[in-house]
Amino acid sequence: MLVCIDAGHAESTAGKRSFDGTLREYEFNRAVAKRLKYHLERHGIKTIYSCDLETSKDISLSTRCKTANNAKADLFISIHANAYGTTWNSANGWEIFIYKGSAEGKKLAEEIRKESIALLKLKDRGIKTDSLYVTNHTKMTAVLVEHGFYTNKEECAKLKDTAFREKCAIADAKGILSYLGIAWKDENATEPKKTIYKVQCGAFVNKQNAETLKAELKAAGYEATIVKVQ
């Protein structure tokens, strides 16, 4: 399973920033993309980025899609934050886009939607089927997620918050994993304790006899340790 993560836009993208200049969309997108990659990979899912996240150049949509198609990715998720209007306004909420008529895209979107609305506590604007380049020109199941509006003062503050960005990444990861039938594991989940059985292979009064047996066991490929018992 290979997931292509697409962090929308770049430093050079015109516009795509809050009205007060405190948030540029690409910063949010890349921060979430990096955490999404981390969470998917710790669950055993292979990932690639659609473009270099360290470049300031905005890579074309066609190149992003070609990267995913050439890698034969199984899923494509594009990370974005939304915008509306020319001044601060009340437009708000979360939404997700899919290719019209994609049954698998709808299934994936539903899982991400369920996790996102529960975790992010944003207005649910639903699943949309607008004609977007990255959902139309990728050969695999694809979604584009809008995680709130940076043209809304309250949501812009959230989009700048590290903890909120982490929640976005977790929601996206949980949705993808649920779609794939993989259970979510918390980062601090401890591994169950394993029962270990030890085998004693001799007891001697003479230490040399113990050393001889230890050497024989090691030669046979077994780990051996001498324990002195009073």
How much of the chain is helix, strand and coil, in % rounded to 5?
A: 40, 15, 45
Domain 2-180 adopts which CATH fold?
A: Aminopeptidase (3.40.630)
Which CA distances in Å does 213 have to 113, 150, 194, 228?
63, 72, 28, 15
- What percentage of residues in the chain have a pLDDT greater than 90? 80
Residue with tokens 């039938």, as numbered in its chain: 181
**Cβ(15)–Cβ(64) under 8 Å?**
no
3-state SS, one letter per residue, for 92-121 = CCEEEEECCCCHHHHHHHHHHHHHHHHHHC
Residue-averaged pLDDT of the chain: 93
Whether the per-residue pLDDT at 230 is higher than 80: the answer is no
**Number of alpha carbons in the 13 Å side-chain half-sphere of residue 206:** 4
How many angstroms from the chain centroid is the CA of residue 10?
A: 19
- Please report, for the chain, the start and end positions of each structural domain, with discontinuous segments joined by +: 2-180, 197-230
Which helix (H) or strand (E) covers residue 135, if one does? helix 133-136
Phi-psi region of 202 (alpha: psi -120 to 50; beta: other; left: phi over 0): left
Confidence of residue 189 (pLDDT cuts 50, 70, 90): low
59-86 residue pLDDT tens: 999 999 999 999 999 999 999 999 999 9
- What percentage of residues in the chain have a pLDDT greater than 70? 95
